[in-house]
Amino acid sequence: MIGYYAHQHGSGHLNFARLFAKVFGDEICTFSSLKKPEALKGQFVQLADENPDATASEENQIAEPDYLHYSPVGQRSIQLRSAQILKEVVERNIKLMIVDVSVEIAALMRSSSIPYAYVKLPGHRDDTAHVQAFQGAVFVLAYYPEEFESEQTPYWLRKKTIYLGFITDRKIGQQITTASEEVNNILVISGGGGNERLLNAINVLPERFISAEIKVIGMPEESFSSARIRNCGYVQNFQNLLEEADLVVANCGLNSVTEILQAKKAFVAIPEERPYKEQETTATHLYETDLAIDLNSLFELEDSEILKHRTWDVDDELRAISKLKNHLNENCNRLPLIPEIFANQPKQQHAE
């Protein structure tokens, strides 16, 4: 039995937990403060939250040690949550915990003699807390290709990382249609965590594409001046909207990028400000590989040029997770050696 800790900020962590549970089935248990989605298979532990509960006296607070990001002293909610996690891990005989993501949970696992794998997000994470979380992990996981790794990531960390590549189980049908020369249908996808740059981009779309229909998902509270911008609010299953689109405008979170690349759509990538230049790093690689263009390029390129783009083969069969599962089952006593099986994988890029 392995565990999967899914951080409560945003929906992306729980989505990756869902993908792992789809492959591991009853051999995995997900831990999260978020509500269990109906589609999530396997076992699930509903964690208590760790929000401030007025039990931590301000007078008793001291600075966090370098290996932690959030560690108030005397907070009862954190104490109870930590005890709950350890109790469940021991009682369920968890042999390995995948931490996605939390340096505090990583420290809790290691200090409790529980092996863990740490999920590395894009960007450059060289602060002491992340470095020590990486160092203490049995191995590191990345849900993007090594080609998208930050140039500043040290060699030892690359060698310790299993790059699963872009992974999803959602498949957008690749209908054979006549290549369009004009952008007539635009889909704007908003992720969580702040979308100031994306909002600014939406406002210029009607000016650039004077006749295109523009649909926005993920921003239910926003209103737009142009009558051609249709706010669709939150859409659980947006595959049809994505398939209909000629052009997609979105942030550079891993889930959005993966879905767009899988659908092989023309992509305007708008990176939002995130810690450790997470989205900026992904956007840079998207631009450099001609998988996406930036906002300024919309006014420099003709529609036909915007619609011509390179593609990337996305793992929509979850083969990488299945491979990881098989290797864990066969080599549970040699976990530090696992990244070797993913070394020297061929690049999954081709021109279209």
Domain CATH number, residue 238: 3.40.50.2000
CATH code at position 341: 3.40.50
pLDDT of the residue at 333: 67
286/344 same-domain check: no
213/288 same-domain check: yes
pLDDT of the residue at 85: 98
Q: Is residue 27 part of a domain?
A: yes
Number of domains present in the structure of the chain? 2
> 50 is in which domain, residue-wise?
2-167+317-350
Give the torsion through C-alpha atoms of 241, 246, 248, 254, to 10 deg.
80
pLDDT of the residue at 116: 96
- Which regions in the chain score pLDDT beneath 50? 176, 344-352
Taking Cα atoms as reference points, which of 108, 91, 147, 101 lies closest to residue 125? 101
Q: Are 32 and 46 in contact (CB under 8 A)?
A: yes
pLDDT of the residue at 89: 98
Q: Is residue 178 part of a domain?
A: no
Query: What distance separates the 2 farthest-apart alpha carbons in the chain?
Result: 68
pLDDT of the residue at 127: 95
pTM score of the predicted model: 0.91
- Residue 106 Rama label (left phi>0; alpha psi -120 to 50; beta): alpha
